[in-house]
Amino acid sequence: MQRTRRFIRTGAGSSAAVLLALTACADDGDVPSASGADGDASEFPTDTVRILVGSEPGSGMDFMARGLAPRLQELWGEDVVVENVPGANQSAAYHEAAGADPDGHTLFIGVEGTFGIHDQLGTIDPGWQEFEWFGTLTEGPWAFHVDANGPIETFEDLLDAEPVRYGDGGYESPVNPVALTVFEALDVDFIFTPGYDPGQAQSSVLTGEQHFIGREVNQFVRYDQEDEYTPVLIAGDEPHPDFPNAKTFAEVEDEYDVTFSGDRIFQLGLAIGTTPGTPPETVDKLADSIVTLIEEDEEFQEWRAENLFEETMLVENIGRDVTQEKIDELTREYAEFGVQDMEERLTKGQ
């Protein structure tokens, strides 16, 4: 299956960009309220808007939320705050957002794959197709990152470390279908350790406790950690210009005569949505506001470029219909992969 993803050459990470994401926003009284939607949505928002993320500060979701918040606040003329609600692999924040008033004032950002798996396992209520998703904020291929200063320098080195060790938050982590796809196809022994928080999982690679960590391909460049972590495998067809030693899925399929079935499940996407039952006009205004930032907000465009989101945060991925299509595709792929027995498959080597 063709998995076409393009990469741009990365620059140095920007501390100024992080500062923008964390800086206090403009005075509310100086900024007029946005309009342009029909019906009640023309008055939205009328109060503080909360963006919930299901992790502690410092995660990719949190980083994205703190990049959006000050620009949405200036656009809307109302306070926009980020609230961290960790727990149950993002589902604690999801359930809080799902139970809020259906008026668009509570938003949620989460990893698409996590909720595709939660949905298949029946661990979220309402189901993820019932949530009011209105966009994928960014999307890039998963990658296996190793210690940049350690003995593993290539994908072949990783395979030679058999049994390959890696850890993550839980059995429902969306990196697990990626890892299982690779290790089962290549008949590689591995040991998966659940129970890590994101920071611990990453540190375990540097201490040698684990061999690799699954993260989006550009994550460690984005956070100025490219001297600590480097990818050896990219879950896509296109090579990355900054990581010439990283094998792509296409190269592994060709060299080892295997096939990796799937496409969407190999992408790490961050979705944004709001409470079920929110009026469609309000949901559309939320989506239009994200589009406005991408297309017209110069400060947000600068933040987007400095943090390597130019080719992964796209207007074409914003909107209710396109997001629902992606959810349908992910649901189908996870059903075909089979997540019901994933814990059993992951514990096989322990």
Domain borders along the chain are 15-140+267-337, 141-265
> Hey, do 15-140+267-337 and 141-265 end up sharing a CATH topology, with the first three levels equal?
yes
Report the b/e string of 276-296 with b at 16+ CB within 10 A: bebbebbbbbbbbbbebbbee
Class level of CATH domain 141-265: alpha beta
* pLDDT of res. 349: 59
Write the Ramachandran bin of 134: left for phi over 0, alpha for psi from -120 to 50, otherwise beta: alpha
From first CA to last CA, the distance across the chain in angstroms is 32
Work out whether strand 164-167 and strand 190-193 pair parallel, antiparallel, or are unpaired: parallel
Contact 56, 62 (CB under 8 A): yes
Helix (H, G, I), strand (E, B) or coil at 349: coil
Q: What is the pTM of this model?
A: 0.87
Q: Between 321 and 1, name the one with better pLDDT.
A: 321
* pLDDT of res. 329: 97
* Confidence band for 133, pLDDT divided at 50, 70 and 90: very high
pLDDT tens string 25-57? 444 444 333 333 344 688 999 999 999 999 989
Orientation of helix 60-76 relative to helix 298-306, angle to 10°: 170
**pLDDT of 11 higher than 80:** no
* pLDDT of res. 169: 85
Closest CA to 196 of 187, 177, 209, 183: 209
pLDDT tens string 183-233? 999 999 999 999 888 888 999 999 999 999 999 999 999 999 999 999 999
| Mean pLDDT, residues 152-160 taken together | 98
pLDDT tens string 62-87? 999 999 999 999 999 999 999 999 99
Residue 228 CA from chain centroid, whole number: 21
| Mean pLDDT, residues 265-277 taken together | 98
Report CA-CA distances (Å) from 332 to 263, 322, 329.
11, 16, 5
pLDDT tens string 136-149? 999 999 999 999 99
User: Measured between alpha carbons, how far is 176 from 160 in angstroms, rounded to an integer?
Assistant: 20
* pLDDT of res. 144: 99
Contact 281, 103 (CB under 8 A): no
Report CA-CA distances (Å) from 100 to 50, 115, 171, 295, 307.
10, 18, 28, 30, 31
**pLDDT of 131 higher than 60:** yes
Topology of the domain covering 15-140+267-337: D-Maltodextrin-Binding Protein; domain 2 (3.40.190)
User: Measured between alpha carbons, how far is 247 from 245 in angstroms, rounded to an integer?
Assistant: 6
